[in-house]
Structure 1
Amino acid sequence: MTTPKLLAARAGVAERAVESRHLRRVWGLPGTLLGAVGWPVDWPGRVHLRFGYWWQAHLLDCVLDAQLRAPSDARLTTIRRLVRGIRVRNVLGWTNDFYDDIAWLGLALQRAARAGVEKPGAVDAIARRLRAGWTDHAGGGIWWKRNDDFKNVPANGPAAIFFARLAGAGGEYGDLGRARSIVDWVEDHLLDEETGLFWDGLHVHPDGSVREVEKNLYTYGQGVVLGACVELGSAEYADRAARIITAVDKNLATDGVLRGHGGGDGGLFGGILMRYLALAALELDRPEAAKAADLVFRSADALWANRTTVVGGPLFGPEWTVRAVRPTKDEPERDLSVQLGGWMALEAAALLERNGCTPPQS
């Protein structure tokens, strides 16, 4: 199916394609970069009229993946400029009203610090906001957005990973307990017993009782709970991680290839799950680790096989089993999110490759 180092080369080609088509300064300011949210880039894209806060967090994460794959001073400069670009474009600080957005950026900034680009004030601001986002409504959990009635997995999952990593880096007393409490709350309130997967979230009445459960099953929701369970590491959480991998393979993949969720925000969903499947494949002490690796390799192979080629390099589609098309108007291929999802998937496969994992034979 693939040969050694080929997956790293594919990830590198995806990196160059995204950067050449999407990266722009913020309002012409030196020392800043952001990803234009669409390509071909129109005038609102050139001035970053639409920001896409959490898309930028994943762009930063992808560049950090690339830096681990092939460290360079030039890429470190890109990381610094992206961090500054996010801060400049966000105008009022590091945070916004969406707890999921800031959790994603918090994770990227934690990784940036390990690469040598430290923003301790930003991480601290995000940590304070996330700690304050937990309430007893519906038995616990962090809100999706301030002053809203929704608590969901895509906010709680990355927050749990963030707190677990913060605890390991000497964070505030209780952060590890917060991570465990978040994962346990998700397990208790949003697990679909039939599939072993997690529903999207729930709406809460003012008195704290549950009004409605949103029973959509999204790939990235499974990815972040999987990532949190792997991060927590105990036997109990490892068993949960193994169950999630099995459930994903059975319900969210076809012949080992993850399903897509279209363009827009959905373009990131599969790539996020791929990130945490790869980490599970490397860290999880369970037989299901091999299945996680298989899902990563097969999905990345399908993504690559169905790419199309445009200026700058490969262009990926939102459904990895379907040939990508060159965007002429509003096709999802124009979205930065879709291209980042593809790049993330290839970096996940390259991570396994350089750690000695062998792709399945076709």
Structure 2
Amino acid sequence: MMRLSKKLTGLCLSLIMVSMLLVSFPFTANKANAFTTANADTAMSAFVSTFYDSSAKYFYTNSDHAIHAEHAHGPNAGLYTDFWWEAQLWETVMDAYQRTGSATYRTMIDDIYTGFNLKYTNMTDNQFNDDLGWWALACLRAYEITGTVEYLNRGSFLFDTVYASWSTTNYGGGIWWRRDATNPASSTNAQKNMATNAPMIMAAIKLKNAYSNSAYLTKAQQIYTWTKSTLVNGSKVNDHIEGTGTGLVKDWDFTYNYGTFLGAALALYQDTSTASYLTDANSAANYVIDKMTSATSLLYEGENDAPGFKMIFARNLNQLRVQASQSQYLSFLQSNATQAWNHRRTTDNIIGNDWLKPTGTTYVQSLAAAAGVSILQFVPADAYTGNIAGNGVYEAENARRTLVSSLGMVNESTNTGYNGRGYVAGWNTNATSIDFYVNQNSASTKTVTFRYSAAAGNASRYVKVNGVFVANNLSFTGTANWTTWNTVTVSVPLNAGSNTIQLGFDSSKSNSNYLNVDRLSGL
């Protein structure tokens, strides 16, 4: 799947919270609609109408059907989606079919498979095992839905192709990310990651059930044991291991890592009834819900591949809810579905990459749109009418930020006493900001609190609400050290619907002392 490690320039930079030039503009209040089955129908119809080329039996990369340098990967120079995106969009169609039983979506399941094979005549030309793994998993799901043996055969073939890259030569086990990069001393792509290994656990259990062959369970447990011992630390699910010798674990936080790991644990729990697997699945789920949300909504993780991460997490979380009777996740999933629907672009009902703010007027990538559509398909509608204000707590490390790490504003967790996963640090650069997207059910004026540390001395920043200054030079009194945290409050006027609270640095107003920001609360 994930090109994240491969494309460290671009996606990874934004995902490590390094880059995103944001333009502040006033948001008008959006009318909240109930999340109903009719909404799910509308969203899926709009998605297919906008992105699906029925003649090619393939999805376009972008809503404007143009090629953009931002993600020019895939057939026809990037006009159509690339390898792993098409697997995810295929699963979106399966989500819709399983909800509706529609003959249209049933036909599309077969057509998309045909269209993909016309574009990729030899799937194994792709050296990325995670890409093949996502297609293996999707094929096996298609087999379970349709009973078409071709899907089982292809899923089995792809699983065997990927599993052949299992090796104990480095890091004691695990499947290599690329089949042509298995020597850490000679290749920067030589790594073993969650994106490759966890989906293969799920695929192995599907094959075990399809063939009644316990050898697949043995392989699933083998991969799981290595994955958990190598890439999981307590409740934290890490991205990959690389380097020579015993290797270096990269602890990047992405929701899809947690989603694939909890999906793997769930598959083994269902097959074996071993309670520890369910414990692992719940641990991964709760880490994301507790630490990778803004006011209980799944966070924005970046562009290109990144919007698909929360789709994978949400889909597997819903499977955990249904298949292991974990009903505690229903309200979380429903509120996120409502957020996605409420922030769609009303002109065409397309959902963008950030569920906390309205979808803009520019083109939308198909993977981003599919994430919002999918959660509306697999989560039962609750008919709730209103905005999702959430718990009123917005962790700074999960907010949108400007500029690149070399100029300031990086995520950090070095100094103790913070909430969530860390805080925004190294911040003293002109024209930078932290943007908190806040949704309210009624217009009001509220007193909000910023939690911070300022060991370099008194600092100051401006505060804007929906593009309007409410504090030109808010003072953050210096703290004794970076592990001492203080708070400052400010009154903010909020609209019903979507709002942006921006904490920013303007050299004409702010002093240059560093400021670490932990969270915004009180909403």
- TM-score, with structure 1 as normaliser: 0.85
Q: How far apart, in 2, do the equivalents of 1:220 and 1:43 lie?
A: 26
Structure 2 letter corresponding to 1:226 = L
How far apart in 1 are the matches of 2:283 and 2:66?
44
Partner of 1:143: 176
Corresponding residue for residue 308 of structure 1: 345
Aligned to 2:66: 42
Q: What's the counterpart of residue 192 of structure 1? A: 233
Q: What residue in structure 1 maps to residue 41 of structure 2?
A: 12
> Which structure has the larger Rg over C-alpha atoms?
2
Distance, in Å, in 2 between the alignment partners of 1:361 and 1:93 is 45
- Root-mean-square deviation (CA, aligned residues, Å) is 2.5
The residue aligned with 1:201 is 240
- Report the Cα distance in structure 2 between the residues aligned to 1:94 and 1:70, rounded to whole angstroms: 33
In 2, distance between residues paired with 1:94 and 1:87?
12
Equivalent-residue separation in structure 2 for 1:236 and 1:316 (angstroms): 37
1:24 aligns with 2:63: no
Match of 1:58 among 88, 95, 98: 88
The question of 1:294 aligning with 2:322 is answered no
Instruction: Please tell me the residue identity of whatever aligns with 1:252.
Output: M
**Equivalent residue, structure 2, for 1:357:** none
Would the aligned equivalents of 1:8 and 1:69 in 2 still touch at CA under 8 Å?
Answer: no
Answer whether contact 1:274 1:348 (CA < 8 A) is retained: no
Bigger Cα displacement from structure 2, 172-181 vs 99-108 = 172-181
- Counterpart residue type for residue 296 of structure 2: G
Shift of 1:192: 3.2
Q: Provide the secondary structure at the position in 2 that maps to 1:217.
A: coil
Equivalent position of 2:164 in the other structure: 132
What is the aligned counterpart of 1:320 among 355, 358, 361? 355
Deviation at 1:346, TM superposition (A): 1.5
Mapping of 1:61-210 within 5 angstroms? 61-93=91-123, 96-116=126-146, 117-119=148-150, 120-136=152-168, 137-148=170-181, 149-170=190-211, 172-193=213-234, 196-205=235-244, 209-210=245-246
Q: Aligned equivalents of 1:105 and 1:186: distance in 2?
A: 20
CA distance in structure 1 between the partners assigned to 2:90 and 2:213 by the alignment: 25
- CA deviation after TM superposition for structure 1 residue 353, in Å: 6.5
For 2:64, the aligned partner's letter is: P
For residues 299 and 305 of structure 2, the distance between their equivalents in structure 1, rounded to whole angstroms, comes to 15
How far 1:100 moved relative to its partner?
Answer: 1.0
Aligned equivalents of 2:283 and 2:67: distance in 1? 46
| Counterpart position of 1:270 | 310
Structure-2 residue corresponding to 1:211: 247
List alignment gaps of at least 5 residues for structure 2: 1-31, 182-189, 391-523
1:118 to 1:60, Cα distance in 2 relative to 1, 3 A = farther
User: What letter matches 2:290 in structure 1?
Assistant: K
More helix by share: 1
Shift of 1:10: 2.2
Give 4+ residue runs of structure 1 displaced > 3 Å after superposition. 43-48
- Provide the C-alpha distance between the structure 2 equivalents of 1:65 and 1:48, rounded to a whole number of angstroms: 27
Greater mean alpha carbon deviation, residues 137-146 or residues 213-222: 137-146
Alpha-carbon spacing, 1:94–1:85, altered in 2? closer, same or farther (3 Å):
farther
Aligned length: 334
- Tell me which protein shows more strand as a share of its residues: 2
Q: Which runs of 5+ in 1 are unaligned?
A: 328-332, 355-359
Give, in angstroms, the shift of residue 2 of structure 1: 8.4
What one-letter code is carried by the residue in structure 1 that aligns with 2:284? I
Distance 1:353 1:79, change over 3 A: farther
